[in-house]
Structure 1
Amino acid sequence: MALIVLAVGGGTAWWLTRGEDGALAGRPRVTDAAAGISYAIPEGWKHDEGKELINAFTSSITGKRTEGGSRGAGQDKGGSVVLAGRSRGVPEADLQRQVERAARSNAEFFYPDGSSTREESRPTAVSGRPAHTVVLKVNDGKGGEAHLRMTLIAVDTSRSAFLLGLTQPADPSANKLVDAVLESATVSGPERGTGGRIPA
């Protein structure tokens, strides 16, 4: 099984600021200096500062857990998580292909016994930079469903950043909140460093 996605290198740094726009206006934000992006923290969510993450990710936040959920994104009883990371530069014309492949790889990684169906794939922009968003409906292989949303941002010609949101079990209100976190993203000043490669 191909592990992940958009592999990265180097360390990370983050701190809290406050944003003013969108559905999460005024909420504290994570500024992930390694990925070069900032995103909002919904009320009741936890910023996982100091938590050890696998190499593909540079920061994360988690929502409230729910009873009875199956395995997903490292949460034993379900819930919601948003993870950020960085990679090498991706041409605008290649954003859709790369993010769709990365989203499927993540679905296979977090739900190895499941399957996924694409529900949405569209171009967008983050702080004026080209980006692409894809949404997957995931059957976890154990009778449950998960919601996966991923946005890949062309920060500049040499670097890209991504946000990955997961909700398990899928729920309309929880899905909407994860989507709002990804939509709150802005590009900040990234640390200089070597981005990882995108596995074939």
Structure 2
Amino acid sequence: MTPSPKTPAPRLWAGLAALGVTVACGGAALAWSGDDDRPRVTDTRAGVSYSVPEGWRHDPAADRELLGAFSSRISRASEAAPAEDATVLTGAAGRPVPSAELRRTAEGAARSNAAFFFPDAAPTLTESRRTELGGHPAHTVALDVPHDGRTARVELTVVAGDHPAFLLALASNAADSRVLADVHAVEASVALGGRAS
């Protein structure tokens, strides 16, 4: 069976269906924000909240079925292709990440995720930069990955601190500036705090 070219990460969807992993505590909820009139996802497992861009959707029930590392997900479907063409996943990093290790940790995690979601492709590092997420030191890594005749994008941001979190964006078309702008708007909207134990 050939994976659908319309999904940015066929292994994610296949893995979810095959494993049927249920997260024990559903940690994400949707609320409306007064700042930008966009709904927000509050992910208590990862200790983050973030805005949902127009045209994207969040399904709290589906969050409970994500693989263990992920605790919330928003996705976007284009008008031309009803299948999801971009996804942002969040989760709690497995261990505290000191600021001095952010770059190495983020680059390693980005490559690991690219290998998982796109196992037969060789990713190309397109960006690796220090940034802030929710006022905390962070590092963002972008990889372009050949996929179904196009170039997909894997973008991972890891936040430093005692309770670190990450955002992982998967986009089926790295050249789609609207999707990348939405991903960056999600990153800019992140607020940290309220992590469940």
Give the TM interval when normalised to the shorter protein.
0.7 to 0.9
- Work out which of the residue numbers 10, 13, 37 in structure 2 matches 1:26: 37
1:11 Cα offset (Å): 2.7
Q: Answer yes or no: is 1:43 the counterpart of 2:48.
A: no
Contact 1:29–1:38 at 8 Å: present in 2 too? yes
1:13–1:166: structure 2 CA closer, same or farther, 3 Å change rule? same
1:61 Cα offset (Å): 0.5
- Amino acid corresponding to residue 40 of structure 2 in structure 1: R
C-alpha distance in 1 between matches for 2:142 and 2:182? 14
Match in the other structure for 2:168: 164
C-alpha distance in 2 between matches for 1:115 and 1:184? 31
Contact 1:166–1:178 at 8 Å: present in 2 too? no
1:188 Cα offset (Å): 2.2
Given the two structures, how large is their TM-score scaled by the length of structure 1? 0.78
1:78 Cα offset (Å): 4.7
- Work out which of the residue numbers 28, 41, 54 in structure 2 matches 1:14: 28
1:65 Cα offset (Å): 4.3
- Work out which of the residue numbers 90, 102, 115 in structure 2 matches 1:108: 115
Per-residue CA shift, 1:147-167, capped at 9, x if unaligned? 12111112x32x210001111
1:114 Cα offset (Å): 1.1
Q: Answer yes or no: is 1:189 the counterpart of 2:179.
A: no
Q: Which has the higher helix share?
A: 2
- Amino acid corresponding to residue 137 of structure 2 in structure 1: P
Q: Answer yes or no: is 1:144 the counterpart of 2:145.
A: no
Any idea what SS the aligned residue of 1:183 has?
Answer: helix
- Amino acid corresponding to residue 86 of structure 2 in structure 1: S
1:63 Cα offset (Å): 0.3
1:95–1:117: structure 2 CA closer, same or farther, 3 Å change rule? same
Per-residue CA shift, 1:131-174, capped at 9, x if unaligned? 1111111112x3221112111112x32x2100011111331221
**What is the RMSD of the two structures over their aligned residues, measured on CA atoms?**
2.3
Any idea what SS the aligned residue of 1:179 has?
Answer: helix
- Work out which of the residue numbers 132, 142, 152 in structure 2 matches 1:135: 142
Given the two structures, how large is their TM-score scaled by the length of structure 2? 0.79
C-alpha distance in 1 between matches for 2:164 and 2:31? 22
Can you give the 5+ residue segments of structure 2 that lack an aligned partner in the other structure? 1-11, 13-22
Can you give the 5+ residue segments of structure 1 that lack an aligned partner in the other structure? 69-75, 193-200
The size of the alignment, in residue pairs, is 173
C-alpha distance in 2 between matches for 1:11 and 1:96? 30
Any idea what SS the aligned residue of 1:103 has?
Answer: helix
C-alpha distance in 2 between matches for 1:146 and 1:135? 10
1:17 Cα offset (Å): 2.9
Q: Answer yes or no: is 1:63 the counterpart of 2:67.
A: no
Identity score, percent: 42
